[in-house]
Amino acid sequence: MARHDRYAPESGDTSFDVDSYDLTLDYTVRTNRLEGRAIINATAATDLTALSLDLVGLRATKVRVDGERRTAFRQGPRKLRVTPTRPIAAGERFSIDVSYAGAPAPRRSRWGTIGWEELEDGVLVASQPTGAPTWFPCNDRPDDRAAMRLSVTTESEYTAVPTGRPVSAATARGRTTVVAESLVPVATYLAAVHVGRYRASTLPGDPRVRVFAPAALRAEVEAGFARVPEMMALFEQSFGPYPQEDCALVVTPDELEIPLEAQGMAVFGANHLDPDSQRLIAHELAHQWFGNSVGVGRWQDIWLNEGFACFAEWLWSERSGGPSVAQKAARHHTRLRALPADLVVADPGPDLMFDDRVYKRGALALYALRCAVGDETFGEILRTWAASRRHALATTDEFRACVSQIAGDGADAVLTPWLDETTLPPLPAPRR
């Protein structure tokens, strides 16, 4: 049976695991009104007489378990507690049908305000790590990934972009319904809906990539994403085939502090289309392999997402004619030397899990590994890691085992000072 994550102990319920979410959302941009229905198919991990779902800021109006005429429930600020009329045995499959509504808003957390967020004229969702309950009832654990179907209805002058492979779109009475499906498992924090006055197009050079952006930003978007096909080619060469069912890039008319990835998707602000933002585009694309396919089941292993995505930035810099991987490593090592050495990358603690030192020192750990084993073996490690953990959960210890399997017993020891100790190791020299 799963345990509560130490970094977010109030999120999720370990007594059951979700198999799939079927979400039907009706949203009105003008009034910020969301009406939703969530059908959650799950399997009991232990004998159940009651269970809880995470739901924040929205009010459940009806709950039914396995079609019961009436299921008892009560709702607090963070949890929807459900009591079926009969016990559910461990291993038994069951469904929860929740109708809910309200004015969705971000939740306050130790990581800032996260979740469903209104823009000047539209919506974005930024849920990492615990913002998903601001827009749908869920078992908000990073290790509880599930298939997902999303149906989103909104005013027809807006375009809704939900997570998943597009299935259908239909318009009636001035409202448009878009349906998308994810057959690959999705973590709740990687589910998203973006709504805006967007024009849809495909990317020249790689028709797999769908782009959604305001018509007024067309020229900037074309320039900003012009090299995305090259990025995709580099990452497929370095990490293996693109692992997601979809690739959607959304550009909001608003400026955003940072871009954000979701499953098969990334959202950028209008301020992320300049040449200096190419590294950010590369970073979010790389997450489709590391973070969204190879995923963490514990937040303490977040460097497996962010360190790998940062290293991918350095690969793109070198391939695109910018500073080499070695030069990027040296620059960031110099910057880290000027910062406090009080963080353990493999377990930074909840307050520091998104600290930039986790990102950059994680990337330096990979650079040190490449210096130790050589480019060819390092490339084999990355491709094997991405393939062996495709759409599965991963831990730091499992990555160490992968390194030892390919590079030989003890090869993983090079990671220890970078990941498990606070003192910054010396910058390694590339293998000759």
- Mean pLDDT, range 396-408, rounded to an integer: 97
- For residue 112, report the phi and psi dihedrals to the nearest 5 degrees: 100, -165
- Whether residue 306 is predicted with pLDDT greater than 80 in this model: the reply is yes
Q: What is the pLDDT of residues 95-130, one digit of tens each?
A: 999 999 999 999 999 999 999 999 999 999 999 999
Mean pLDDT for the chain?
A: 97
Q: For the whole model, what pTM was predicted?
A: 0.97
What percentage of the chain carries pLDDT values higher than 90? 97
- For residue 105, report the phi and psi dihedrals to the nearest 5 degrees: -155, 160
Q: What is the pLDDT of residues 240-268, one digit of tens each?
A: 999 999 999 999 999 999 999 999 999 99
Alpha helices in 128-276 (DSSP H): 218-224, 228-239
CATH-assigned architecture of domain 1-195: Sandwich (2.60)
pLDDT category, 224, cuts 50, 70, 90? very high
* Chain centroid offset of residue 422 CA: 27
3-state helix, strand, coil in the chain (%, to 5): 30, 35, 35
pLDDT of residue 53: 98
- For residue 100, report the phi and psi dihedrals to the nearest 5 degrees: -155, 165
| In the chain, where the domains are located | 1-195, 198-287, 294-419
Q: Which residues of 18-41 are buried (b: 16+ CB within 10 A; e: fewer)?
A: bbbbbbbbbbebeeeebbbbbebe
- Mean pLDDT, range 411-429, rounded to an integer: 96
Q: Which CATH number fits domain 294-419: 1.20.1250.20, 1.10.132.20, 1.10.390.10, 3.40.50.800?
A: 1.10.390.10
Contact between residue 388 and residue 290 where contact means Cβ atoms under 8 Å apart: no
pLDDT of residue 131: 98
d(CA 305, CA 373): 22
Q: What is the pLDDT of residues 137-154, one digit of tens each?
A: 999 999 999 999 999 999
Tokens of 268: 């950028």
d(CA 159, CA 135): 18
Distances (CA, A) of 138 to 80, 328, 351: 9, 40, 24
What percentage of the chain carries pLDDT values higher than 70? 100
d(CA 37, CA 32): 17
pLDDT of residue 47: 98
Q: What is the pLDDT of residues 330-389, one digit of tens each?
A: 999 999 999 999 999 999 999 999 999 999 999 999 999 999 999 999 999 999 999 999
pLDDT of residue 4: 87
pLDDT of residue 1: 66
pLDDT category, 69, cuts 50, 70, 90? confident
pLDDT category, 3, cuts 50, 70, 90? confident
CATH numeric code, 198-287: 3.30.2010.30
- Whether residue 431 is predicted with pLDDT greater than 80 in this model: the reply is no
- Whether residue 270 is predicted with pLDDT greater than 80 in this model: the reply is yes
Q: What is the pLDDT of residues 191-216, one digit of tens each?
A: 999 999 999 999 999 999 999 999 99
- For residue 38, report the phi and psi dihedrals to the nearest 5 degrees: -120, 125
Distances (CA, A) of 319 to 208, 236, 238, 299, 328: 22, 13, 12, 31, 13
- Mean pLDDT, range 49-74, rounded to an integer: 96
Picking from 56, 49, 53, 65, the residue whose alpha carbon sits closest to that of residue 14 is: 53
Torsion of CA 24, 26, 29, 32, to 10 degrees: -90
